[in-house]
Amino acid sequence: MKDEQSKKLIEKFESHFIEVIDIIKNSRINALKSVNAELINLYWKIGEYISNKLEKAEWGDGVVSQLALYLQAKYPELKGYSDKNLWRMKQFYETYYNDEKLSPLVRQLSWTHNLLILGKTKSASEREFYLHLSIYEHYSKRELERQIDSGYYERSMLSRKKLSPVARELKPDLASAFKDTYILDFLNLPKNHSEKDLRRALVSSFKDFVLEFGKDFAFVGEEYRISVGKTDFFIDLLFYHRGLQCLFAFELKIDDFKPEYLGKLNFYLEALDRDVKKKHENPSVGVILCKSKDTEVVEYALNRSASPALISEYKTQLIPKKVLQRKLSELFIQEKERLK
């Protein structure tokens, strides 16, 4: 009975007191942020202390193990002070203490997130990439680990995004919001899958799809119908991008990119802008997601395109991270040679 009364009370006053709820929620979030920042500061200071003791040769390596045993005996209720974790605190401090750009960022993430980035990245630029990405996207531990393991950083650096001239002009931030290659290993697609299989798998795995493409996407519809004249047409997937404030039409292709795909996409974008787009929204963007592509063919096709369009390819299996790292090293060497 009480539950029913509480439900009716909430429904009655929901619209009146929503701002109070927002105040409470924001306060809780800020409290959690404050607690997390204090915990990171604590681990930073312990790492600094150990680092200084070892650097001045006041301690040997064995003293860290003795410290861990002492803390566990002195404060048995406290967790996280094993010798392994104390060494991580030292590494954490030594990695960031001299970096004015990154040291403030680590305090915005949990210790678990920081350990993932510290343990799975190879360079300062890669660490910076994942720190910014985690803060912006509010990744969970699982989401962050998946992005690192899928080589998100390497794929972004290697990406040669092909945008139509109109897309570059209307949306200068568009290139940074998309990757040249998307990893859809979570779909478990059969080798000989159809476009219908691909579409349905993406919709049924929506959470993983949004993780790969970006959390600013809001789903609008599958096989979204638009009517032009007396004919109905269907867009494979339609999304709205909150950051760019525009509709995104996805056309899915299970073969190599063909120039004629672009004509159909341009038609869809024109229909969306005329009949679906709201006045305050930006022009719609189209994405052709295909199994593979010839970059020269893509460049020729997009150069005369009158609509904001992108061409990306998808892979149904993870690209080995070592392969991506090798390609990235080769790219850096080529760039270095070019600048000589």
pLDDT digits (tens, 9 = 90+) for 160-173: 555 555 555 545 45
Q: What are phi and psi of 269, to 5 degrees?
A: -65, -40
Closest by Cα among 302, 73, 307 to 170: 307
Q: Express each pLDDT in 260-307 by its tens digit.
A: 888 899 899 999 999 999 999 988 988 888 888 877 888 888 776 767
- The C-alpha angle with vertex 182 and arms to 177 and 183, in degrees rounded to 5, equals 135
pLDDT value for 172 = 46
Q: What is the mean pLDDT of residues 51-59?
A: 88
Alpha helices in 111-214 (DSSP H): 111-120, 124-137, 141-149, 152-158, 165-170, 174-177, 195-204, 206-213
Q: Percent of the chain at pLDDT above 70?
A: 74
pLDDT value for 14 = 60
The token duo for 33 is: 């942020």
pLDDT value for 300 = 83
pLDDT value for 44 = 93
- Name the residue with higher pLDDT: 226 or 325: 226
Question: Is pTM beyond 0.85 here?
Answer: no
Q: Express each pLDDT in 173-216 by its tens digit.
A: 555 556 667 777 767 777 788 888 888 888 777 777 777 777 78
Residue range 159-322 forms a domain whose CATH class is: alpha beta
Taking 70 as the threshold, does the pLDDT of residue 159 lie above it?
no
Helix, coil or strand: residue 102:
coil
CATH 3.40.1350.10: which residues of the chain?
Answer: 159-322
Quick one: 107 exposed, middle or buried, by C-beta within 10 A (0-12, 13-18, 19+)?
Answer: middle
Is the four-CA dihedral 120, 155, 166, 240 of positive or negative sign?
Answer: negative
pLDDT value for 175 = 52
